[in-house]
Amino acid sequence: MKVAVYSLYYPDKSSESFDELIDVLEQNSVDIYIEAKFYNQLISEEKKINKLQSFTELNESFDLLISVGGDGTILRAITYVRNLSIPIVGINTGRLGFLATIQIDEIKTAIEHILNGNYKTSERTLLSVETNPENESLKETNFALNEIAVSRKNTTSMITVDTHLNDDYLTSYWADGLIVSTPTGSTGYSLSCGGPVITPDATSFVLTPIAPHNLNARPLVIPDDTTIKLKVDGREDQHLMSLDSRIVTLSNATLITIKKANFKIKMVELLDESFIDTLRQKMLWGEDKRN
């Protein structure tokens, strides 16, 4: 089996988890490839990585990608996986860990289950974006697993986001910004702005305004085959657009078109895991001390 390992940084908790992960993979005779920047960091810290190799890109020969970190690490890891259909699993050394579901005290048991094929996969819908005029920085990574959001840049004033759905005018949001979220992203930024939680297998997106000034501007759930067009106006000539954790600056003359991406990401889940369990455990869903 050929496995890629990705991580963003190397604090104590991630270091211990990484070492345990490598031990488990080596015990199971796995071919291990470490993302190049992380690999070089290990070398600089004089870690023993003689048997490990590095990668700068992935291809169809990889069987699995393991992310060591939090949910943000997984969001960056998908920029390597793209449309290759390589299953992804996350070891959670961060905080909440809604996507990175393997806890640090479960690494050996969970990884051995996965290596033995005792797992299931959840296919996650992504968003893709095009801009007119075209933005060079989006040519390679114009997709997002959680959300695409537009927001104000160098101002404390609100912006206006003209919004069309399938070429029908919806409204002009007067707000700090607007989030277009996938079901996966519905438990992230969108939720913190008042959006609903959507189960991962739902065929929906949600539009969630960020701090809207209109009292009747509320989150809107739409079919995931909808084409969304946005145009921003405001006191500044530029605004920000974020794709998960990646940010670009756009001029207010830019037309933004957001659609469902033409590929999906496969998230690995253990057989005893479910989204409902995660919702209850991570979000304390419906918990009431009176009961």
List the catalytic residue out of 12, 23, 63, 71.
71
Q: Which of 255, 211, 234, 254 is nearest to 155 (CA)?
A: 234
Task: Provide the pairing of β-strand 159-165 with 168-175.
Answer: antiparallel
End-to-end CA distance of the chain: 48
Q: What are the angstrom distances between the C-alpha of 268 and each of 55, 60, 98, 265, 274?
A: 21, 17, 13, 10, 11
CA 66 – CA 90 distance, rounded (Å): 6
Q: Examine the residue annotation and report whether 71 is marked as an active-site residue of this protein.
A: yes
Catalytic residues: 71
